[in-house]
């Protein structure tokens, strides 16, 4: 099969298209012919070793010290089940599915595998592979954080970084839960986040949300510039800070720093499951949520895709097409 492979850490040019053996599904696994996958900020972070301050050593231990532990990037994909391993029930060849491999990567390839009991779900016929593959990373992350924070109807929620893959999903899923949403973004993305349902937009170049009088029940931090010491000023007593991203100091601070007013700080959340993916696929097929797709690249254009993700300015998701198809 063809795959986007990298053997050393660095810029987009370390990635190239190579032929490699097709993976074999083990017992309990599905072999999936990948039609579309996302190129996410996680691919950027791992490939370039661009991780928040203080987290380089733990990241290296997990993902490779001298060379990459996983030669093929790509955390999520949508495609068609090609074969099933022994003992698989619930899926069969020909099923259209969406899946998340997460930190095991391996989706920027024509074939990948996933545990049938893991983060994989069938997708409705009316949902394209492209839209389906834009769901797991952003919506999975956003939903597990909103769940952990217990976001519910009537909450005032602020999403910092509302136009990224995670932020654009957090805005929509918080609205689905009946919250009132304030989105922090640049002026150029104000229209997008309003379309996604944001009730109010703050342009971060003009206003500091933490210096305003407004107070929120929940702050979803998706940028890395609003740790507890900043976000706490914008939270009501008993509020929740959802730290989707933080550097080591922010992570330790969130565990050690004394809280005021019973504010909860959450950085560890549950795993994304097949049930989550099934729910997102259903909501997307009905139009209740919209995966935001910024740019679409062919597998041969993988370096351009990485270079665009590296800008840190993508709107929602950057996608890769891997099969000849009408995705």
Ligand X SMILES: NC(=O)c1ccc[n+]([C@@H]2O[C@H](COP(=O)([O-])OP(=O)(O)OC[C@H]3O[C@@H](n4cnc5c(N)ncnc54)[C@H](OP(=O)(O)O)[C@@H]3O)[C@@H](O)[C@H]2O)c1
Residues of this chain that interact with ligand X (CB under 6 A) are 40-41, 45, 141, 160-161, 163-167, 184-186, 188-189, 204, 222-225, 244-245, 312-315
Listed in sequence order, the residues at least 6 apart from 59 whose beta carbon sits closer than 8 Å to its beta carbon are 45, 46, 49, 51
CB of 165 to ligand X, least distance (A): 3
CB of 326 to ligand X, least distance (A): 26
Separation between Cα atoms, residue 30 and residue 182, nearest integer Å: 40
CB of 89 to ligand X, least distance (A): 30
CB of 295 to ligand X, least distance (A): 12
Give the residue with the Cβ less far from ligand X, 6 or 145.
Answer: 145
CB of 201 to ligand X, least distance (A): 11
Question: By the 8 A CB rule, do 273 and 140 touch?
Answer: no
CB of 42 to ligand X, least distance (A): 6
Q: Which residue is nearest to ligand X (CB)?
A: 164
Separation between Cα atoms, residue 232 and residue 249, nearest integer Å: 16
DSSP state of 24: P
Give the residue with the Cβ less far from ligand X, 40 or 113.
Answer: 40
- Output the CA angle 138-140-142, nearest 5 degrees: 65
Give the residue with the Cβ less far from ligand X, 95 or 294.
Answer: 294
Question: By the 8 A CB rule, do 316 and 292 touch?
Answer: yes
Least Cα distance to 281 among 144, 115, 136, 150 occurs for 136
Give the residue with the Cβ less far from ligand X, 40 or 112.
Answer: 40
CB of 182 to ligand X, least distance (A): 12
Burial of 179 (0-12, 13-18, 19+ CB in 10 A): buried
List the end-to-end C-alpha distance of the chain, in Å, as a whole number: 19
What is the Cβ-side half-sphere exposure of residue 228, based on CA atoms within 13 angstroms?
22
Give the residue with the Cβ less far from ligand X, 30 or 234.
Answer: 234
Give the residue with the Cβ less far from ligand X, 59 or 176.
Answer: 59
Give the residue with the Cβ less far from ligand X, 40 or 82.
Answer: 40
CB of 196 to ligand X, least distance (A): 12
Give the residue with the Cβ less far from ligand X, 299 or 309.
Answer: 309
Give the residue with the Cβ less far from ligand X, 64 or 85.
Answer: 64
Separation between Cα atoms, residue 284 and residue 172, nearest integer Å: 11
CB of 271 to ligand X, least distance (A): 10
Q: Residue 308 phi/psi, 5° resolution?
A: -70, -40
Separation between Cα atoms, residue 111 and residue 69, nearest integer Å: 18
Listed in sequence order, the residues at least 6 apart from 221 whose beta carbon sits closer than 8 Å to its beta carbon are 160, 161, 227, 231, 241, 242, 243, 244, 245, 246
Least Cα distance to 71 among 109, 111, 31 occurs for 109
């Amino acid at each position: 099969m063809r795959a986007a492979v990298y053997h050393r850490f660095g810029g987009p040019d370390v990635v190239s298209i190579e032929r490699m053996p097709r993976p074999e599904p083990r017992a309990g696994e599905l072999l999936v012919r990948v039609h579309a996958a996302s190129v996410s900020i996680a691919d950027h972070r791992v490939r370039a070793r661009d991780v928040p301050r203080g987290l380089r050593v733990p990241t290296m231990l997990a993902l490779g010290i001298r060379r990459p532990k996983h030669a093929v990037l790509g955390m999520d994909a949508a495609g068609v089940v090609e074969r099933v391993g022994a003992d698989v029930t619930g899926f069969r060849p020909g099923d259209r599915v969406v899946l998340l491999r997460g930190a095991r990567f391996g989706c920027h390839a024509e074939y990948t595998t996933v545990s049938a009991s893991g983060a994989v779900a069938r997708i409705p016929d009316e949902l394209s592979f492209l839209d389906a593959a834009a769901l797991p990373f952003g919506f999975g992350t956003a939903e597990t954080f909103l769940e952990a924070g217990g976001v519910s109807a009537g909450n005032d929620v602020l999403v910092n970084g509302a136009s990224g893959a995670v932020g654009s999903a957090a805005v929509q899923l918080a609205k689905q839960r009946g919250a009132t949403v304030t989105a922090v973004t640049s002026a150029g993305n104000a229209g997008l986040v309003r379309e996604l349902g944001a009730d109010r937009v703050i342009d971060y170049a003009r206003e500091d949300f933490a210096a305003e009088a407004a107070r929120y029940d929940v702050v979803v931090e998706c940028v890395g510039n609003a740790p507890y010491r900043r976000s706490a000023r914008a939270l009501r007593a008993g509020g929740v800070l959802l730290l989707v991203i933080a550097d080591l100091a922010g992570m330790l601070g969130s565990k050690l720093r004394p809280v005021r007013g019973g504010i909860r700080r959450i950085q560890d959340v549950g795993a994304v499951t097949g049930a989550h993916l099934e729910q997102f696929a259903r909501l997307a097929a009905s139009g209740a949520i919209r995966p935001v797709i910024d740019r679409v690249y062919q597998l041969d254009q993988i370096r351009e895709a990485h270079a665009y993700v590296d800008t840190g300015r993508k709107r929602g998701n950057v996608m890769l097409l891997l099969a000849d198809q009408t995705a």
